[in-house]
Amino acid sequence: MHNLTDNVLMIKVKEGDLDKLGLLYERHKRRLFGFFYHMGNNPSVSEDLVQNVFVRILKYRKSYTGEGSFTAWMFSMARNVNYDHHKKVAKESISREISPEDANSGFEDGLNDQMDHEGNKALLNRALGLLADDKREVLLLSKYRELKFHEIAKILGCTEGAAKVRVHRALKDLKTIFLQLETT
């Protein structure tokens, strides 16, 4: 139902009712921000990238067909935005990105000594940060329950089975890294 509404909203945006993009933004901004953040961008860069996604949505609104979910369409754009950003950064050889674990470690470590639960989360974030980019990406996409595996497969450009295998292996790696971090 939510998906359908997203699609209807996007169709309206396509027809020129740009106001409706505000609603879509409110619905998805947190998720997109989280995606960029966990993909290794600092919060400020992540915010810029969220903005870039919506700029692209506006720019390419005419190409939206309404087939498949809006979320899948949006995430395939988000993926491209992230890819372009990292390519640009690598080209300029100024890596402004700060991985989330680095960004947080400074002040969180002290707090984590007292709060075990929070410590686990920080460790988890670090573990995620240490995962290979493609594995992190597939895990983040599968985290959003709205995306079906065939949609994730489409975003990644592989078969549905391959997407599932990737999720499986990524989860396995995540667990391994997490355990390693915990023991050190």
Partner 1 sequence: MKEDKFEIQAVDFISGSMTEDEARRFEKFLDENPRYQEKFNDLQDAWGMMEEIDSPKPSEKMDEAFFEMLSNEMDKQRSKSSKSGLLSWFPIIFKPQLAYGIFLLALGLGIGYVLAPTTASGPTEVLVANHETEEVRQKLVLTLLEQPSANQRLQGVSEANKFENADEIVIKALLQTLNSDSNVNVRLAAIESLTNYVDNPTVRQGLVQSIPNQESPLLQITLANLMVALQEKASIEPFKQLLQEKQLDTTVKKRIEKSIQSII
Chain residues binding partner 1 by CB under 8 A are 16, 18-19, 21-22, 25, 29-30, 33-34, 37-38, 43, 46-47, 50-51, 54-55, 58, 100, 120-121, 124-125, 127-128, 139, 142-143, 145, 148-149, 161, 164-165, 167-169, 171-172, 174-175, 178
144-155 burial: b if 16+ Cβ within 10 Å, else e = beebbbebbbbb
Give 89 or 162: the residue with its C-beta nearer to partner 1. 162
- Least distance to partner 1 from the beta carbon of 135, Å? 11
Looking at beta carbons, which pairs linking 127-134 to residues 24 or more positions away fall under 8 Å?
Answer: 127/174, 127/177, 127/178, 127/181, 128/38, 128/100, 128/174, 129/38, 129/40, 129/99, 129/100, 129/101, 129/102, 130/101, 130/177, 130/181, 131/170, 131/173, 131/174, 131/177, 132/173, 133/39, 133/40, 134/166
- Least distance to partner 1 from the beta carbon of 42, Å? 10
Give 33 or 64: the residue with its C-beta nearer to partner 1. 33
Give 66 or 161: the residue with its C-beta nearer to partner 1. 161
Give 86 or 121: the residue with its C-beta nearer to partner 1. 121
Q: How far apart are CA 73 and CA 20, in angstroms?
A: 16
Give 47 or 68: the residue with its C-beta nearer to partner 1. 47
- Least distance to partner 1 from the beta carbon of 168, Å? 4
- Least distance to partner 1 from the beta carbon of 93, Å? 27
